[in-house]
Structure 1
């Protein structure tokens, strides 16, 4: 029995329907097979579109709002990064103009009629010549398919795709950032988003693509309402940069060392020898090559150039250029002549083009942090772009602080005071520009550098304040000029040319030894940002080599500033309610130095180093505990800041503070108030006491105090620390009558201490035996309060506090604990 051709049933169905395609009919009549449709070429599909040849060829289709890419190199990795040319403007959410996103390594694959964009898993590799060894690791860990698209046309090994659907997805993580900031659930609205085809650019080593994304969401939360034209509809631009991988020619990755002062690029390499660690770390740095490698000092093949945002006005622009240019001297000392420079971004240049290192001047609704982001090759640590974000309102905060200290707007004030305030702010801005550029050069924070005076621009500097011979506040040299010795060291260590192999390692070891011998200390973020941190030198916003002396120096400045605080701290045109906002940095002037005092209590310093450096005698292992006498001096000063004599305001301040005027309102820069619109002297005392109690009664600190005392009974123990704390607050004698509102202020501080003590117990972070000591102190306090009831309002508080403590100790569930008092933000300054 003969079988009918496969096409027969289809032909029969079409005939029954009365539909006979011409090609099928002709084939049926002639008996010849149907001709296949002619495949379209890339030229056919792109006819009439604007061409942008480059690393990846781009075609702009502005009429249809799409971008087409011609992909020729499949399975070949390249780098992909996102950024925000237009952003949200909220410091609290953190979506800033010119913000750079994650650098990913990706490649295109072809499967059937589609191209796939795949992100490679660069965390796990096998750097081996054996392809099977490489494959074993590649197959063990998941890659991620980021996108797929139909192939529109092909010419041999080149394939054309419409890349628009990739671009119109939130690749930067905008919605996630909004959700993390508790602003609600936002998502891209495709109907109000568009590919900006006219903005697409292609160059030999990179492609720049841009879209308008509109995020729809509830629009009810504070920060989006603050900045959004319509908070339910947030429109921003997303840039996608596709970058050719750097070649390995003349690039030698440098092994990262913990004392280098730099960042690292790391991954797990399963091809390392069995006796070696698979955890591989490279120094992050720009490529910098001498034209004459044999010369001690040489010009370079390609200098590192940074460009300053044209949107920065004068005198800001000049300050940014000057401060960032400080790094040139360090490169010169490291042997690189004319290797680093800073210029104004040329007119018409795209600041988001990934080829340029840019210092962006960014506006937000409120003051906030600045950032330096180094976009680096994840394989080697080679920096491809430095992106600096400088918040514009920080400079205004510095002026505010200076004016609050100087009171320059009185009739008898000299004109020099006006100039000093601006000069201090610009000096800080120069330092800030150098600091953030330093991050993009591969340098980490060094919060111990302040022990060396102008040790490093990579520290967080507090203005150096003192009293002059006339007893007036002196800010004339508030910030240092130029990079410091630590900065010279890290440039030489990370960028210096020392040859290769053992020669390089020997030279780097000598650099480390010389730096330590000269007294250079190093402590960075992971050990310095926690309230309970232990390193006594790793301090943010401090100054001077001696914490105790700096506390005393700032205390004298604070006292003088409060005594002279008046309406003269405000320009004539400002509404009088802003007096309170200017009181904040004066009243809390010692907030960072108070943290420095707390670091001495239960403190201990240690080195970032390697086993080899310890064995060679270059560095030390272990922790060096802060001497007992120093701890006790710090404890005495810190607990003194909980007394009414420290926390109460003088009459000259209390008598002029006025509620914000109509059309203005309190914001985060003001103290909290429980008294309606008026200034609340109780809340300010609670804020001050909360700072001290929070640092002192941190569970990590109390655990360390207990251990240090257990190991050495000469060190202060938990009972001693708590006894002094309570003696200065709940158990103290009456407050002198000369202190205005002294009893009320002291009771406010006492209650903050009681609440902090119970929160310490409630944290669940104390070791059991340490918690037992704290409970014993709390019980002893409650019993003392019952036996010493006092009089008047003090008696009421003592009675209630004793009952509350005993109730908590009996059953914590019966007592609702109060949170820490709100404190206006200090950092960034």
Structure 2
């Protein structure tokens, strides 16, 4: 019986298969009347039904699949920009009976060996991903036809997820309002490009969605899909070195001998070779060419071209002639076509980061497409900053021929274009470059503001005008043609060692971030070798700008309330430099050293330097620093009709009136929060434990209390400022004492100082030595600390006013996903 049942099953399966085969039309029959487009993958356009049919003739052949967003939403806060790259993945088509699967292999785990069984064991150990399944609609000569429409019309870019994550509403694709976008559906020998117009409908739209859409419950964008032939195997991956300044790829190779590391790391880079590898200087076999968005207006267009071309200086240092070129994108080209390295000029409703991304072959680290998004509001923010510094709109002055604000903005744009293109060449941030005489465009540069003998401000050298010495080093490491050299590894090691000998330091993102950062030389938005000296300089520049602040900071005919827009970046001009200076307190000097190289190990920042940094930080917590001239307070009225508050302005306790004490509260909070960071506090405990003469957490808290609460308080506005600063300090100390991430010793020391401060407040208030304002402040502080003592960590007083957005200067930060890094 079992044998009979088996024979019946085989017969039924055979008949079914024959029936299916007979019912499946040929590709010629199925596509009759369709428009055929030949290329990397041949596709057919069914205009009657608005469909695209794909002819698949390559099975188990890997290619690159890239999705992107061609037409975006237009809000920096939402993060869905025009021409934004999405995922890029190696995939292949696999035929399984009536289906074709799009499979993404797992390149994070490999076996680089000729042993096929060993390779298969790794492939079977880690999951692949099947991205889509297609039903075979026609078949002919070993090729099949599938309907691509549903694949192209889905939310491949994850727009719905982004909107929901940002609390901007719950949206999904409305098929009735979505169509294929034929104008950007194209075919070429090496790549096939598709695009779709998708409309997302939903409810409860968020504020940002409402601000950038004509009808908030219908968001229409365009998404792009690219199928790209993978590069040949004539690319030589280059070893990742943490000292060299590159992003990289990594994977685990399970065929590695047990005595060696299983982790393999290589840098991301473009393919570049010399025509003559033996020549000291040679043209490349194929240059790296970038294209600028033709939608970029002048004079920004020329500035971007100039700044991007700086990179040719670095490639010349690596031995290439004309290896890096920049051109305007031809009108016939599409910016998402993978054949074009792009610099896109992107508009948003709010200022924000710019990005340098890359399409990378995950097998080797080869960059296939560099892709830059430059926010168009950057130049306007720098212009605003220059207006605040110069107070330029004086009677009889015009800027028809000489406009220092525009020159500063364009200088920043040149540097920014070089910076973001640097990311797309494979380079990471180098935040120590400012201590090496602006050694890299991969730093975040603050405008260098000079002070003339007559105490006026000079912006003529605000930003650098070329590539830096570190940039030449890192391009040489990544792109130097080492073919024919006795030892490629030794040649590349020499590049790094020579840079170390020249004193060039490379420190990147995590170590430069301000909150818990400890490195004394790696900062964001700074200048100069000495952070303390630079903070003193910036405070002097700030004082001059505030003393000169007047109605001349805005053009004639502008509402006077707009003066606050210019005042904010002036009043908070020191906000970035305090982030660098505070890192010296509890700081640690170190490098990315390897065993055997010439770099030294980690060493605490000298105690004298730490104390100087603390004094400089405490100076920013004083009425002298945070007070505003009376003239300013008398200039700024409430906003008129049509000019509304924005997040770029100070938060306030006194709406609609301008709040000078609120501005001081904001600035004081920035300094105090940085000083009282949990990691910094723990390092101070550790440093004092090693050497009792070192600055410790208790010492720092004593100085902080002495320079705020225990400082003699003036009258009137000055006294109100001091009381405001004092309560900010109290809040930050309570936050540190109760922070879940603070160490027990940090909590113990901070609580001890707070208890002593509470008793001191009580005594001072009872003696009645101060006026009513001072006494009220002391009693409020005492009661606050009494509540904290009684309720413990569950109690937290009202937080200070939060500051308006700061970073980045000149726009609105990370991930190399941009490759995805931002600036």
Length-normalised TM-score, structure 2: 0.94
Match in the other structure for 2:819? none
1:228 corresponds to which of 204, 213, 217: 213
- What secondary structure, in the 3-state scheme, does the structure 2 residue paired with 1:337 have? coil
| In structure 2, C-alpha distance between the alignment counterparts of 1:596 and 1:771, rounded to whole Å | 25
**Gap change, CA 1:653 and 1:440, over 3 Å in 2:** same
Match in the other structure for 1:566? 550
Match in the other structure for 1:794? 774
Match in the other structure for 2:249? 265
Cα deviation digits, residues 454-474 of structure 1 (max 9, x gap): 211000000001210111011
**Which stretch has the larger CA shift, 673-682 or 809-818?**
809-818
**Conserved? CA contact 1:407–1:568, under 8 Å:** yes
2:535 corresponds to which of 540, 544, 551: 551
Deviation for aligned residue 1:156: 2.8
Match in the other structure for 1:825? 805
**Which stretch has the larger CA shift, 713-722 or 384-393?**
713-722
**Gap change, CA 1:720 and 1:592, over 3 Å in 2:** same
Matched, 1:671 2:650: yes
Matched, 1:334 2:318: yes
2:97 corresponds to which of 100, 105, 112: 112
| In structure 1, C-alpha distance between the alignment counterparts of 2:361 and 2:32, rounded to whole Å | 36
Match in the other structure for 1:136? 121
Match in the other structure for 1:486? 470
**Gap change, CA 1:370 and 1:378, over 3 Å in 2:** same
| In structure 1, C-alpha distance between the alignment counterparts of 2:296 and 2:611, rounded to whole Å | 49
Cα RMSD for the two superposed structures: 1.9
Match in the other structure for 1:81? 66
**Which stretch has the larger CA shift, 410-419 or 369-378?**
410-419
**Gap change, CA 1:744 and 1:607, over 3 Å in 2:** same
- What secondary structure, in the 3-state scheme, does the structure 1 residue paired with 2:170 have? coil
| In structure 2, C-alpha distance between the alignment counterparts of 1:273 and 1:35, rounded to whole Å | 50
**Gap change, CA 1:658 and 1:417, over 3 Å in 2:** farther
Match in the other structure for 1:624? 603
**Conserved? CA contact 2:184–2:334, under 8 Å:** no
| In structure 2, C-alpha distance between the alignment counterparts of 1:787 and 1:313, rounded to whole Å | 66
- What secondary structure, in the 3-state scheme, does the structure 2 residue paired with 1:577 have? helix
| In structure 2, C-alpha distance between the alignment counterparts of 1:548 and 1:273, rounded to whole Å | 50
Cα deviation digits, residues 426-479 of structure 1 (max 9, x gap): 000000000000000000000000001221100000000121011101111101
2:110 corresponds to which of 125, 132, 137: 125
User: How many residue pairs were aligned?
Assistant: 792
- What secondary structure, in the 3-state scheme, does the structure 2 residue paired with 1:226 have? helix
Cα deviation digits, residues 358-379 of structure 1 (max 9, x gap): 1000000011110000111001
Matched, 1:724 2:703: yes
Match in the other structure for 1:658? 637
1:768 corresponds to which of 739, 744, 747: 744
Match in the other structure for 1:287? 271
Match in the other structure for 1:374? 358
Cα deviation digits, residues 654-682 of structure 1 (max 9, x gap): 11012122111010110011212111112
Match in the other structure for 2:140? 155
Match in the other structure for 1:28? none
Match in the other structure for 1:62? 47
Match in the other structure for 1:608? 592
Cα deviation digits, residues 197-243 of structure 1 (max 9, x gap): 45321211111110111112224311111111112211110001111
| In structure 2, C-alpha distance between the alignment counterparts of 1:34 and 1:255, rounded to whole Å | 56
Matched, 1:194 2:191: no
Cα deviation digits, residues 782-821 of structure 1 (max 9, x gap): 1111111133121112112112113213322663433352
Deviation for aligned residue 1:692: 0.1
2:292 corresponds to which of 305, 308, 331: 308
**Which stretch has the larger CA shift, 493-502 or 527-536?**
493-502
**Conserved? CA contact 2:737–2:748, under 8 Å:** no
**Gap change, CA 1:95 and 1:285, over 3 Å in 2:** same
**Which stretch has the larger CA shift, 788-797 or 396-405?**
788-797
- What secondary structure, in the 3-state scheme, does the structure 2 residue paired with 1:186 have? strand
Match in the other structure for 2:663? 684
2:228 corresponds to which of 243, 248, 251: 243
- What secondary structure, in the 3-state scheme, does the structure 2 residue paired with 1:217 have? strand
Match in the other structure for 1:810? 790
| In structure 2, C-alpha distance between the alignment counterparts of 1:68 and 1:231, rounded to whole Å | 33
**Gap change, CA 1:729 and 1:163, over 3 Å in 2:** same
Larger Rg: 1
- What secondary structure, in the 3-state scheme, does the structure 2 residue paired with 1:451 have? helix
| In structure 2, C-alpha distance between the alignment counterparts of 1:418 and 1:182, rounded to whole Å | 46
Match in the other structure for 1:704? 683
Deviation for aligned residue 1:726: 1.0
**Conserved? CA contact 2:160–2:172, under 8 Å:** yes
1:207 corresponds to which of 184, 187, 192: 192
**Conserved? CA contact 2:737–2:746, under 8 Å:** no
**Which stretch has the larger CA shift, 557-566 or 103-112?**
103-112
Deviation for aligned residue 1:170: 1.2
| 1:438-449 alignment, distance < 5 Å | 438-449=422-433
| In structure 2, C-alpha distance between the alignment counterparts of 1:425 and 1:367, rounded to whole Å | 14
Cα deviation digits, residues 504-555 of structure 1 (max 9, x gap): 1101111111101111111111222251111111100000111111111111
| In structure 2, C-alpha distance between the alignment counterparts of 1:824 and 1:782, rounded to whole Å | 32
**Gap change, CA 1:290 and 1:811, over 3 Å in 2:** same
| In structure 1, C-alpha distance between the alignment counterparts of 2:246 and 2:21, rounded to whole Å | 62
Match in the other structure for 1:15? none
| In structure 1, C-alpha distance between the alignment counterparts of 2:29 and 2:796, rounded to whole Å | 74
| In structure 1, C-alpha distance between the alignment counterparts of 2:802 and 2:314, rounded to whole Å | 43
**Conserved? CA contact 1:80–1:242, under 8 Å:** yes
| In structure 1, C-alpha distance between the alignment counterparts of 2:368 and 2:789, rounded to whole Å | 58
**Gap change, CA 1:502 and 1:292, over 3 Å in 2:** closer
| In structure 1, C-alpha distance between the alignment counterparts of 2:438 and 2:246, rounded to whole Å | 19
**Conserved? CA contact 2:244–2:506, under 8 Å:** no
**Which stretch has the larger CA shift, 767-776 or 379-388?**
767-776
**Which stretch has the larger CA shift, 414-423 or 89-98?**
414-423
Cα deviation digits, residues 284-341 of structure 1 (max 9, x gap): 0000011111111111111101111111000000000000000011101111111101
**Conserved? CA contact 2:277–2:484, under 8 Å:** no
Matched, 1:49 2:42: no
**Structure with more contact order per residue of length (Cα contacts < 8 Å, sep ≥ 6):** 2
